[in-house]
Amino acid sequence: MTLSSESRSLAVVTGTSTGIGAATARELARHGFHVLAGVRRDRDAEAIRAPGIEPVILDVTNPEHIAALTARVRADPQERPVRALVNNAAIQANVPIEAFGIDRWREMFEVNLFGQVAVTQALLPDLIAGKGRVVNISSVGGKVAMAAYGPYAATKFALEAVSDSLRRELSPFGVHVVVVEPGAVHTEMLGRAIAGAEESLAAMTPEQRSRYGRLVHAVNEQAISSTKSGLPAQVAATVIAKAITARKPRTRYTVGREAALLTLVRFLPDRVMDRILAAALRSHYPSSETPPVTPRVPKVYNA
């Protein structure tokens, strides 16, 4: 894919209000794409609007929004082909499986999986016509399910499976499907995940808090600690742009050393992996037996 073809092409990116999505929209615009940047609110639309970036209101769980996006693509005044779809929109909450309400399970799957599938289904005829590319943003959580990451990891494991099947289905038509697996990256998702954990902790029964309070604290402390050495969202955006513009893209790209390591250690025996993850979490547990208040995320982690 050459720069001249990019300058005549559309790229659709979901979840561009902040973090990796926003950085990806800007990076693709720098590569010459006209980016349709999905946001959920008008104020986010104005924040992302820039030369080469056209914000569109898009809640991936809203069929009317997806229909409007599809209509916009097919009514493009310059009749530009869709060369890329980046499925980035996602939510996260680090909560033990027992304490995560089934309605919240459904919401997480609606956003992180079903919404991605719905957008992909809607745009596939256009991507096939343009021999475009689908880039699904997964996570290290799509390879390794750590304690209290069960709901989020379940959606990402499922997205990885969908990506594998879709890649094999679309290969005969010249459409590449790529998975990008970021590790620790500076984004606002961490703050939202911890806020979700706080809400869940408050809603737990006393018995559940006695079981999981210290675990939730440790998981959130570990997340904050890992993010201190995490990468800026722009690094992930650069990898995503490479996945879109490379002549022969890999089927998977990791972002950061942590992601590369975790995708390798998953081949260890289960019990060995359990011990490694437990050891990594141990230093983040509070010394008191009383479940503590979940820590806040410093402002530095918002991007």
The tokens describing 289, both together, are: 């037996």
Give the DSSP per-residue string, 70-97.
Answer: HHHHHT-TT---EEEEEE---------G
- Tokens 């939730």, residue located: 216
Distance CA 134, CA 127 (A): 8
What is the per-residue burial (b if ≥16 Cβ within 10 Å, else e) of 16-28? bbbbbbbbbbbbb
- Of all residues in the chain, the percent with pLDDT exceeding 90 is 74
Q: List, by residue number, the catalytic residues.
A: 152
The tokens describing 47, both together, are: 């924040």
Q: Which pLDDT does position 230 carry in this prediction?
A: 73
Q: How far apart are the first and last CA of the chain?
A: 30
| pLDDT at 64 exceeding the cut of 60 | yes
Average pLDDT along the chain:
89
The SS3 call for residue 265 is helix
* Extended strands (E) in the chain: 10-13, 34-39, 53-57, 82-87, 133-137, 176-182, 185-186, 231-232, 252-255
Give residue 79's identity as a one-letter amino acid code: E
DSSP category for residue 50? B
Helix (H) or strand (E) holding 222: helix 206-228
Which is more confident, 60 or 298?
60
| pLDDT at 13 exceeding the cut of 50 | yes
Q: Which pLDDT does position 87 carry in this prediction?
A: 98
| pLDDT at 290 exceeding the cut of 50 | no
CA 11 distance to own-chain centroid: 17
What separation in angstroms does the CA of 78 have from each of 73, 75, 197, 199? 10, 9, 46, 47
User: Which domains are seen in the chain, by residue range?
Assistant: 3-206+230-266 (3.40.50.720)
Query: What is the value of pTM for the model shown?
Result: 0.90
- Give the residue-averaged pLDDT of 18-29: 97
Helix (H) or strand (E) holding 117: helix 115-129
Distance CA 17, CA 303 (A): 10
Question: Nearest to residue 220, comparing CAs of 286, 169, 275, 123?
Answer: 286
**Confidence band of 287 (pLDDT split at 50, 70, 90):** confident
144-185: per-residue pLDDT in tens? 999 999 999 999 999 999 999 999 999 999 999 999 999 878
- Of all residues in the chain, the percent with pLDDT exceeding 70 is 88
What is the per-residue burial (b if ≥16 Cβ within 10 Å, else e) of 200-219? bbeebeeebbeebbbbbbbb
**Confidence band of 300 (pLDDT split at 50, 70, 90):** very low
214-231: per-residue pLDDT in tens? 999 899 888 877 766 678
253-281: per-residue pLDDT in tens? 999 877 777 767 778 899 999 999 999 99
Size (the chain), residues:
303
Cα dihedral sign, 193-194-200-203: negative
Q: Which pLDDT does position 227 carry in this prediction?
A: 67
- Give the residue-averaged pLDDT of 244-252: 97
Strand 176-182 relative to strand 252-255, pairing: parallel
Contact 220, 286 (CB under 8 A): no
The tokens describing 279, both together, are: 């050891």
- Give the residue-averaged pLDDT of 38-63: 98
